[in-house]
Amino acid sequence: MERVIVTCALTGAQQGKAANPALPEQPDEIIAQGLAAWRAGAAILHLHARDASGRATGDVAVFRRIVEGLRAAGCDAILNLSTGGAVAGLALEERLKVVPELRPEIASFSVGGGSLLGRYDTAAGKWVNDRFVPLFASHAELERVARVFRDHGTRPELEVYHAGMLNNLRDLRARGVLAEPLLVNFVMGIPGEVTEATVRNLVYLVDGIPPDAAWLVSAIGARNHFRMLGAVLAMGGHVRVGLEDNLYLSPGRLAQGNGEIVDKAVRIVRDIGFEPASSGEARVILNLTGRNEA
């Protein structure tokens, strides 16, 4: 059967336990839920780190503790360490440290200048969550960071929030600084300057990447999260789920953990006629080395 890579994004950099008490914040929680997600069928675990108060951090020591805890428990999942956290105010150089210091197989890399986020609340008569999130100030800075990934053998998961970022992706590829096959994550559904999560929009985005690229969708929010999976699978994409992107298992029911969310995603994958890839199979699909350094 055709194999589909399932990624689980465990915690993110924004929401906390006030939004869902099951969202993991501290290393032991993240490790436990990472193991549950892996055992449920996730071949890739996307990891953010939080400090002792639950705020996003780029502290390499916290990332290292999570990585070592997962490996000590026998987890062979591909670990995708976040260089995100700009939305939480983390500086680029702080976010980037995990690449040269931990040399993960994969790390996230948002390939744009930034996004204006927020929405207008008609009932309240005001804009909410209204802010600009800066990412990169220049194409030269994008290329510099791409070279950091390349020089340390880390595959970038290229995060694309809207079609304009595809231009940056193509330019970086032309400069020869991106490993092949490309791994592209279409982030959809965040209110603001981010592509709406629709099938029509997804078709347009996928048409803008090389045909041999591996791609997945981060469909943000309960309304989008599971609804997009059928289209993604039918179009040849891979799957991302998890509490970073969605707090609910079904309408009105908060998820009790990342393992439960992966269970549901795997059922959908199999019902449609695919099979979740093992970690080893995912490494073959993505042409990864299998290095598990911490």
**Beta strands per DSSP E along the chain:** 3-4, 6-9, 44-47, 49-50, 56-57, 78-81, 106-110, 114-121, 126-134, 155-160, 183-188, 214-219, 238-241, 248-250, 253-254, 275-276
- Copy the structure tokens of residue 18: 């006030």
Q: What is the DSSP letter of 143?
A: H
Q: Is residue 67 part of a domain?
A: yes
As a whole number of angstroms, the distance between CA 46 and CA 51 comes to 17
Q: Which of 35-44, 73-82, 193-202, 285-294 has the lowest mean pLDDT?
A: 285-294
Task: Report the number of distinct structural domains present in the chain.
Answer: 1
Q: What is the pTM of this model?
A: 0.96
The crossing angle, in degrees rounded to 10, of helices 60-72 and 27-40 is: 40
Q: Is residue 224 part of a domain?
A: yes
Q: Is residue 80 part of a domain?
A: yes
As a whole number of angstroms, the distance between CA 66 and CA 46 comes to 11
pLDDT at 6: 98
Q: How many CA atoms lie within 13 A of 236 on its CB side?
A: 10
Q: Is residue 226 part of a domain?
A: yes
- The 10s digit of each residue's pLDDT in 97-123 is 999 999 999 999 999 999 999 999 999
Mean pLDDT of 183-205: 97
Contact 1, 273 (CB under 8 A): yes
- The 10s digit of each residue's pLDDT in 130-176 is 999 999 999 999 999 999 999 999 999 999 999 999 999 999 999 99
pLDDT at 289: 80
As a whole number of angstroms, the distance between CA 26 and CA 83 comes to 18
Q: Is residue 279 part of a domain?
A: yes
- For 106, the domain range is 3-286
Q: Is residue 294 part of a domain?
A: no
Which CATH number fits the domain that encloses residue 272? 3.20.20.70
